[in-house]
Chains A and B, each alone.
Chain A
Protein backbone atom coordinates (compact mmCIF):
# COMPACT_ATOMS: atom_id res chain seq x y z
CA UNK A 1 0.00 0.00 0.00
CA UNK A 2 2.94 2.35 0.52
CA UNK A 3 3.47 2.51 -3.25
CA UNK A 4 0.13 4.15 -3.89
CA UNK A 5 1.23 7.66 -2.95
CA UNK A 6 4.26 7.88 -5.29
CA UNK A 7 2.33 6.07 -8.01
CA UNK A 8 -0.50 8.62 -7.90
CA UNK A 9 2.01 11.50 -7.94
CA UNK A 10 3.81 9.92 -10.86
CA UNK A 11 0.66 9.48 -12.91
CA UNK A 12 -0.46 13.05 -12.15
CA UNK A 13 2.92 14.37 -13.34
CA UNK A 14 2.77 12.20 -16.45
CA UNK A 15 -0.74 13.35 -17.26
CA UNK A 16 0.14 17.01 -16.68
CA UNK A 17 3.18 16.65 -18.93
CA UNK A 18 1.23 14.88 -21.63
CA UNK A 19 -1.71 17.28 -21.70
CA UNK A 20 -0.04 20.65 -21.15
CA UNK A 21 3.09 19.66 -23.04
CA UNK A 22 1.27 18.65 -26.20
CA UNK A 23 -1.00 21.71 -26.08
CA UNK A 24 2.03 23.98 -25.66
CA UNK A 25 3.89 22.23 -28.47
CA UNK A 26 0.97 22.52 -30.87
CA UNK A 27 0.59 26.23 -30.09
CA UNK A 28 4.28 26.86 -30.39
CA UNK A 29 4.49 25.18 -33.81
CA UNK A 30 1.51 27.21 -34.96
CA UNK A 31 3.13 30.48 -33.94
CA UNK A 32 6.49 29.42 -35.42
CA UNK A 33 4.91 28.65 -38.79
CA UNK A 34 3.00 31.92 -38.78
CA UNK A 35 6.05 34.02 -37.94
CA UNK A 36 8.25 32.14 -40.39
CA UNK A 37 5.80 33.06 -43.13
CA UNK A 38 5.85 36.71 -42.02
CA UNK A 39 9.65 36.89 -41.92
CA UNK A 40 10.30 34.99 -45.14
CA UNK A 41 11.66 38.19 -46.73
CA UNK A 42 14.76 38.18 -44.54
CA UNK A 43 17.24 35.80 -46.10
CA UNK A 44 19.66 33.98 -43.83
CA UNK A 45 22.85 32.46 -45.09
CA UNK A 46 25.37 30.31 -43.25
CA UNK A 47 27.98 31.56 -45.72
CA UNK A 48 30.91 33.31 -44.17
CA UNK A 49 31.07 36.29 -46.48
CA UNK A 50 28.46 38.27 -48.38
CA UNK A 51 28.91 38.40 -52.16
CA UNK A 52 31.19 41.26 -53.18
CA UNK A 53 28.76 42.76 -55.70
CA UNK A 54 26.55 44.09 -52.90
CA UNK A 55 26.68 47.84 -52.31
CA UNK A 56 28.60 48.57 -49.10
CA UNK A 57 25.99 48.18 -46.36
CA UNK A 58 26.11 48.88 -42.66
CA UNK A 59 26.42 45.76 -40.55
CA UNK A 60 25.09 44.84 -37.15
CA UNK A 61 25.35 41.76 -34.97
CA UNK A 62 21.95 40.18 -34.35
CA UNK A 63 21.31 37.55 -31.69
CA UNK A 64 18.30 35.44 -30.84
CA UNK A 65 18.19 33.01 -27.96
CA UNK A 66 15.75 30.74 -26.22
CA UNK A 67 15.84 28.43 -23.20
CA UNK A 68 13.42 25.56 -23.51
CA UNK A 69 12.60 22.56 -21.38
CA UNK A 70 11.01 19.18 -22.03
CA UNK A 71 7.94 18.17 -20.06
CA UNK A 72 7.79 15.23 -17.65
CA UNK A 73 6.09 12.92 -20.12
CA UNK A 74 8.64 13.52 -22.85
CA UNK A 75 11.51 12.97 -20.48
CA UNK A 76 10.02 9.69 -19.28
CA UNK A 77 9.48 8.46 -22.83
CA UNK A 78 13.06 9.40 -23.66
CA UNK A 79 14.39 7.49 -20.64
CA UNK A 80 12.45 4.41 -21.78
CA UNK A 81 13.78 4.81 -25.29
CA UNK A 82 17.34 4.99 -24.05
CA UNK A 83 17.00 1.41 -22.81
CA UNK A 84 16.58 0.09 -26.33
CA UNK A 85 18.35 2.87 -28.23
CA UNK A 86 17.20 4.53 -31.41
CA UNK A 87 15.62 7.85 -32.22
CA UNK A 88 14.43 9.97 -29.32
CA UNK A 89 11.69 11.68 -31.27
CA UNK A 90 10.30 13.51 -28.25
CA UNK A 91 13.59 15.37 -27.95
CA UNK A 92 13.87 15.89 -31.69
CA UNK A 93 10.78 18.08 -31.80
CA UNK A 94 12.02 19.98 -28.77
CA UNK A 95 15.33 20.83 -30.44
CA UNK A 96 13.60 21.66 -33.70
CA UNK A 97 11.29 24.11 -31.94
CA UNK A 98 14.12 25.71 -30.01
CA UNK A 99 16.28 26.22 -33.11
CA UNK A 100 13.48 27.65 -35.19
CA UNK A 101 12.44 29.96 -32.35
CA UNK A 102 16.00 31.24 -31.89
CA UNK A 103 16.37 31.90 -35.62
CA UNK A 104 13.02 33.70 -35.65
CA UNK A 105 14.06 35.94 -32.79
CA UNK A 106 17.27 36.77 -34.59
CA UNK A 107 15.31 37.56 -37.76
CA UNK A 108 12.91 39.77 -35.81
CA UNK A 109 15.86 41.76 -34.54
CA UNK A 110 17.23 42.05 -38.07
CA UNK A 111 13.86 43.22 -39.35
CA UNK A 112 13.73 45.96 -36.71
CA UNK A 113 17.07 47.23 -37.98
CA UNK A 114 15.74 47.31 -41.53
CA UNK A 115 18.03 44.53 -42.75
CA UNK A 116 17.21 42.27 -45.68
CA UNK A 117 19.73 39.54 -45.13
CA UNK A 118 21.76 37.92 -42.39
CA UNK A 119 25.15 36.41 -43.18
CA UNK A 120 27.41 33.99 -41.34
CA UNK A 121 24.58 32.64 -39.22
CA UNK A 122 25.75 30.33 -36.48
CA UNK A 123 23.70 28.14 -34.19
CA UNK A 124 24.89 27.05 -30.81
CA UNK A 125 23.27 24.70 -28.33
CA UNK A 126 24.12 24.34 -24.68
CA UNK A 127 22.58 22.15 -22.00
CA UNK A 128 21.74 24.14 -18.91
CA UNK A 129 21.35 22.53 -15.53
CA UNK A 130 18.96 24.26 -13.19
CA UNK A 131 19.39 23.93 -9.44
CA UNK A 132 16.67 21.32 -9.39
CA UNK A 133 18.02 19.29 -12.27
CA UNK A 134 18.35 15.61 -11.57
CA UNK A 135 20.24 13.03 -13.60
CA UNK A 136 18.79 13.93 -16.99
CA UNK A 137 18.98 17.58 -17.96
CA UNK A 138 16.49 18.37 -20.64
CA UNK A 139 16.80 22.09 -20.35
CA UNK A 140 18.68 23.64 -23.21
CA UNK A 141 19.63 26.97 -24.59
CA UNK A 142 19.88 27.68 -28.29
CA UNK A 143 21.57 30.81 -29.56
CA UNK A 144 21.39 31.93 -33.16
CA UNK A 145 23.58 34.79 -34.25
CA UNK A 146 24.75 36.41 -37.42
CA UNK A 147 25.59 39.66 -39.12
CA UNK A 148 22.69 41.64 -40.52
CA UNK A 149 23.41 43.65 -43.63
CA UNK A 150 21.47 46.88 -43.65
CA UNK A 151 21.31 48.32 -47.17
CA UNK A 152 21.92 52.04 -47.60
CA UNK A 153 18.70 54.03 -47.87
CA UNK A 154 17.23 54.41 -51.35
CA UNK A 155 19.15 51.40 -52.63
CA UNK A 156 16.86 48.66 -51.50
CA UNK A 157 17.07 45.97 -54.12
CA UNK A 158 17.20 42.37 -52.90
CA UNK A 159 20.65 40.77 -52.90
CA UNK A 160 21.39 38.51 -55.82
CA UNK A 161 23.50 35.46 -55.20
Chain B
Protein backbone atom coordinates (compact mmCIF):
# COMPACT_ATOMS: atom_id res chain seq x y z
CA UNK B 1 0.00 0.00 0.00
CA UNK B 2 1.48 3.31 -1.10
CA UNK B 3 0.64 6.27 1.09
CA UNK B 4 1.58 9.73 -0.05
CA UNK B 5 0.43 13.30 0.31
CA UNK B 6 1.17 14.11 -3.31
CA UNK B 7 -1.77 14.27 -5.67
CA UNK B 8 -0.16 12.09 -8.30
CA UNK B 9 2.61 9.54 -8.04
CA UNK B 10 5.52 10.40 -10.30
CA UNK B 11 5.91 7.81 -13.03
CA UNK B 12 2.59 6.04 -12.37
CA UNK B 13 -0.92 6.51 -13.61
CA UNK B 14 -4.13 6.44 -11.61
CA UNK B 15 -6.33 3.72 -13.06
CA UNK B 16 -9.35 4.09 -10.87
CA UNK B 17 -10.55 6.56 -8.28
CA UNK B 18 -12.23 4.86 -5.34
CA UNK B 19 -13.21 7.75 -3.10
CA UNK B 20 -12.33 9.09 0.31
CA UNK B 21 -10.99 6.84 3.05
CA UNK B 22 -10.44 7.89 6.64
CA UNK B 23 -9.17 6.65 9.96
CA UNK B 24 -9.44 8.20 13.38
CA UNK B 25 -8.65 7.42 16.96
CA UNK B 26 -9.25 9.14 20.30
CA UNK B 27 -6.70 8.52 22.99
CA UNK B 28 -5.71 9.69 26.43
CA UNK B 29 -2.67 9.12 28.57
CA UNK B 30 -2.93 7.81 32.11
CA UNK B 31 -3.07 10.27 35.00
CA UNK B 32 0.59 9.82 35.91
CA UNK B 33 1.62 11.16 32.54
CA UNK B 34 -0.77 14.07 32.90
CA UNK B 35 0.71 14.97 36.26
CA UNK B 36 4.21 14.76 34.82
CA UNK B 37 3.05 17.01 31.98
CA UNK B 38 1.64 19.56 34.41
CA UNK B 39 5.05 19.76 36.07
CA UNK B 40 6.55 20.33 32.67
CA UNK B 41 4.16 23.23 32.28
CA UNK B 42 6.15 25.03 34.97
CA UNK B 43 9.57 24.38 33.49
CA UNK B 44 8.67 24.40 29.83
CA UNK B 45 10.05 22.13 27.15
CA UNK B 46 8.96 19.12 25.21
CA UNK B 47 6.27 16.84 26.61
CA UNK B 48 7.70 13.54 25.48
CA UNK B 49 4.81 11.50 26.85
CA UNK B 50 2.36 13.38 24.69
CA UNK B 51 4.59 13.29 21.62
CA UNK B 52 4.77 9.52 21.98
CA UNK B 53 1.01 9.26 22.52
CA UNK B 54 0.23 11.27 19.41
CA UNK B 55 2.71 9.32 17.32
CA UNK B 56 1.12 6.05 18.42
CA UNK B 57 -2.36 7.33 17.68
CA UNK B 58 -1.28 8.59 14.29
CA UNK B 59 0.02 5.17 13.40
CA UNK B 60 -3.20 3.57 14.54
CA UNK B 61 -5.33 6.04 12.57
CA UNK B 62 -3.23 5.37 9.48
CA UNK B 63 -3.59 1.62 9.96
CA UNK B 64 -7.37 2.02 10.11
CA UNK B 65 -7.38 4.15 6.99
CA UNK B 66 -5.23 1.55 5.25
CA UNK B 67 -7.60 -1.25 6.26
CA UNK B 68 -10.52 0.69 4.85
CA UNK B 69 -8.68 1.27 1.58
CA UNK B 70 -7.73 -2.37 1.32
CA UNK B 71 -11.33 -3.40 1.80
CA UNK B 72 -12.41 -1.46 -1.29
CA UNK B 73 -9.55 -2.80 -3.37
CA UNK B 74 -7.23 0.20 -3.50
CA UNK B 75 -3.49 -0.13 -3.78
CA UNK B 76 -2.58 3.44 -2.90
CA UNK B 77 -3.83 6.39 -0.87
CA UNK B 78 -3.00 9.81 -2.22
CA UNK B 79 -3.33 13.35 -0.94
CA UNK B 80 -3.25 12.29 2.71
CA UNK B 81 -4.00 14.94 5.35
CA UNK B 82 -3.64 14.89 9.13
CA UNK B 83 -5.72 16.70 11.65
CA UNK B 84 -5.55 16.85 15.44
CA UNK B 85 -8.16 18.13 17.83
CA UNK B 86 -8.66 17.87 21.55
CA UNK B 87 -12.11 16.45 22.26
CA UNK B 88 -11.96 16.56 26.04
CA UNK B 89 -9.38 17.61 28.57
CA UNK B 90 -6.58 15.09 28.45
CA UNK B 91 -7.84 13.33 25.34
CA UNK B 92 -7.10 14.09 21.74
CA UNK B 93 -8.41 12.88 18.45
CA UNK B 94 -6.19 12.06 15.52
CA UNK B 95 -7.84 12.05 12.15
CA UNK B 96 -6.25 10.96 8.87
CA UNK B 97 -7.95 11.06 5.50
CA UNK B 98 -7.01 10.62 1.89
CA UNK B 99 -8.13 9.49 -1.53
CA UNK B 100 -8.05 5.78 -2.24
CA UNK B 101 -6.98 4.99 -5.79
CA UNK B 102 -5.92 2.06 -7.87
CA UNK B 103 -2.60 2.68 -9.58
CA UNK B 104 -1.79 1.09 -12.88
Contacts and interface: CB of A to CB of B under 8 A. Distances in A.
A128 B10 contact: no
Contact of B58 (A21, A63, A68, A75): A63
Contact of B6 (A25, A48, A74, A130): A48
Interface size class of B (residues with CB under 8 A): 35 or more
Q: Per DSSP, are chain B's interface residues mostly helix, strand or loop, or mixed?
A: mixed
B16 interface: no
B14 interface: no
B42 interface: yes
Interface in B1-41: 2-12, 31, 34-35, 37-38, 40-41
B82 to A, nearest CB: 6
8 A-B pairs closest in CB distance? A56-B11, A71-B44, A131-B90, A132-B38, A126-B84, A67-B50, A21-B44, A20-B43
Interface of B: 2-12, 31, 34-35, 37-38, 40-48, 50-51, 54-55, 58, 80-86, 89-90, 92
